[in-house]
Chains A and B, each alone.
Chain A
């Protein structure tokens, strides 16, 4: 095995949400400065790859873009997603031992259905990578560990019913931070119960309490799940200087976390302390990936200070660890009918607020319950208080769905296209890599 680290660095120096938005041109400027000044790219075992554009089919394999693809996607997004794919390809080809897509814009708040920018994200870079790897190289069991301070609600949404994707997110408690979700009772749908794990944390968590969570909870769960690939949604806003959150993690903490998780592929998510955190956290993470000594990466703001969390925080971490660990261990014994009812279809309703665009989506999600696969999923979606917003039906057939669920999903698309219940109908047929809308339907399929 080639023990080298791949890096796609795409700072998008010509893209921002708005000139003063946290997600602006300046965000990775100093990270670039630090990486260049350290001469990191001269290390023989660090290999830089060129950013790439994702294809439309890569996006449609993962998302329903509403009301239309063009409304959601810009080139910057295609490049961020494409860069994650570029690292994925290099990893699969064994050109690299691990890799980091150091890209912006981020993606982990983009849900299965996406109407535009939400939590700085339009499309989900990690999910697009996962679906690419599964489609092109037939991987099956994949773990995504989200280490951003915000709950990775988009990634959770996309894989909520997928028993082959383990999604673990630790984050500052949703009661004190955007997006307000990610509680411990969000554990996955009826076909994938337990493969979503949320670890809400109180403000003030630092390196020690975080390492406890990694050692005692995340690593045992990963070992048990036995994924073929580990992907890290590598947000850097747990940093003690981040302006949008209240955690106390240091660059050393992030490096140790990376060393422990030993992820195959990292994709940058949030992190908005552009001067005080990002240059140092990114440097430390890359060094950890490349197996180099990272202990010299100390933020000037930290200096000789020690950030030690309170006893309460340690106690909280111990409690939540044992709680979640017991859920994980007993997930097969849970009576799913008690949780999800006895119907063949399980439905939940969601209101999804787009903070950047300022509108709310009304969504009804229904999954076909199945013991053999993730079932197929259908969504009914429209924008609240917007008469122009078309009512859309979206049908997703997962890549490893069983023949019954595939057939049921196809039949639904077929029959609804003959009716007038919805203005827009989309089919996402991952096994056949086929992405259709009602307009493509001409009486046969």
Chain B
């Protein structure tokens, strides 16, 4: 049995899955205690020992970042030559120090011990006890970060230190620095949250492994999650997309429309694989290195209000109008429109009617026409956004000839709507788009299904520079190799080496799965017309999969 819990802003959803069948679902208002509450509701009196794993998707990290609930954190940056410091935009105090590394990992300028102590001293005096140390190109050579750490530790032994290359080995200094800062600034809160969960499960004698869902739809054992804390941002949309996948045919290509109270998240499943974003997650002006599904959000949802503008035209307000009137709110919303048209049976139809009647009187049009017009506007906006998602996907830059000559041309033929008003909205959207609509009552807890069925997934890079005899990686692994063939490394040997270091990483994190090579590029390094070495760039990982497809979707509930 797998148990999945998705803690959302308003509701916490949970499911219990056994042998590809949903055993039980629950939906409760989110509170401090909702994880345990959901757990108890789902388990009832079932024996805990049948539980194989629990996966939790939480908005905690997203909220910490959005609400800027940071512990005081300072960054010591070693940028070397490049863009101006004026263009840095961090929510943390930072200081600049000498010392730089180039793209090949060569040390261009050494660090200056006095300057470092002086700078860190200032950060400490400003109240920062968490210090991030980030040098440009540290993934190509972490030497300067390590050296600075040593200097700082010796002088200030009680600081909490994190190095950039430990957070991510991907290129992008600014995002790496941001990730390091976020890690430090949220670490305590996140760690306490994890401890709470662990303890409360322990107190109940639940010994099955507990995992946390990441933005890429992969899971991490709760024991290791503090290392990947920042990677758990925006795991909700990933959970939904995986859940949709579990409810579709195993080879489906579909548009996933997850309609919440105030936002609608759009994502794509292409030949059964969710589409990933080409750049890291961005939340407002916080740019991170976190890999995620490609999710496009628009500010429309069941709670979107309806109003009249100065020209007596019906408009959507794009602001939360509070609860829908049919559910006890005061203002008319899209949910009320669905209710008066009998497209849903949620809530009180009379209440929905009476708030829409006010508009109807002002515009001298029947209530049903008002409701239809508003829903039309909303579906038009969602369809426009879907088209935009396609455009973004198709206009994604490509750097190789074969990519341009062989563009992916999968056309999703199915629409699956998730979330509260998903049934009727899905019908309206699919009619307009003339596309197959998939809907089950289970769609309202698809996010929890996705969490329950998620397994680890990775896409990482290994770079081998034979001239320097160095192997570096996107997860921060770096090693010097004395016995590498210098001028030419056979592709097979390079790939074996890459898999070897990747398997080490997986083992460290208790992941047992077969990695695959996705792409392998070789660059001959030529100096003075002589080949002096090669750079191998190998992309490898574990394909995003789920544990199974739900079989009892038709008859459940």
Contacts and interface: CB of A to CB of B under 8 A. Distances in A.
B405 interface: yes
A283 B83 CA distance: 8
Interface in B277-332: 279, 287
A292 interface: yes
B399 A10 contact: yes
A76 interface: yes
Given A14-B400, A29-B523, A51-B404, A39 B172 contact: yes
Nearest to B178: A39
A355 B196 CA distance: 72
Contacts of A315: none
Nearest to A36: B171
Contacts of A15: 401
B409 interface: no
A43 B86 CA distance: 12
Interface stretch (A20-28, A111-119, A128-136, A234-242): A20-28
A293 interface: yes
Interface string B99-141: 0101110101100000000000000000000000000110000
B173 interface: yes
Contacts of A13: 399-400, 521, 523
Contact of A32 (B83, B86, B399, B404): B399
A33 interface: yes
Contacts of B86: 293
B287 A51 contact: no
Interface string B365-402: 00000000000000000000000000000011111111
Interface in B531-550: 531, 535
B103 A37 contact: yes
A293 B526 CA distance: 33
A79 B210 CA distance: 49
A13 B402 CA distance: 10
B399 A20 contact: no
B47 interface: no
Nearest to B136: A37
B557 interface: no
Interface string A384-426: 0000000000000000000000000000000000000000000
**From B400, B401, B524, B531, residue with most partner A Cβ within 10 Å:** B401
Contacts of A75: 401, 404-405
A38 B535 CA distance: 21
Contact of B83 (A38, A52, A279): A38
Contacts of A279: 103
B174 interface: yes
Interface residues of A, number: 50
B81 interface: yes
B389 to A, nearest CB: 16
Contacts of B524: 19-20, 24-26
Contacts of A41: 279
Contacts of B174: 38-39, 42
A20 B528 CA distance: 9
A40 interface: yes
Interface string B61-92: 00000000000000000010111111100000
Contacts of B109: 300
B108 A297 contact: no
A39 B173 contact: yes
Nearest to A22: B526
Contacts of A50: 395-398
Nearest to A40: B83
B284 to A, nearest CB: 12
Contacts of A43: 87
A362 B530 CA distance: 35
Interface in B153-211: 171-175
B506 interface: no
Contacts of B525: 26
A292 B401 contact: no
B397 A9 contact: yes
Contact of A42 (B108, B172, B401): B172
A33 B529 contact: no
Q: Which 3 A-B residue pairings sit nearest by Cβ, starting from the closest?
A: A293-B84, A39-B174, A33-B103
8 contacts: A14-B402, A29-B523, A34-B103, A39-B172, A41-B279, A42-B287, A43-B87, A300-B100
Given A14-B400, A297-B81, 11 more contacts: A12-B399, A13-B400, A24-B526, A25-B523, A29-B523, A34-B103, A39-B174, A39-B175, A75-B401, A75-B405, A280-B81
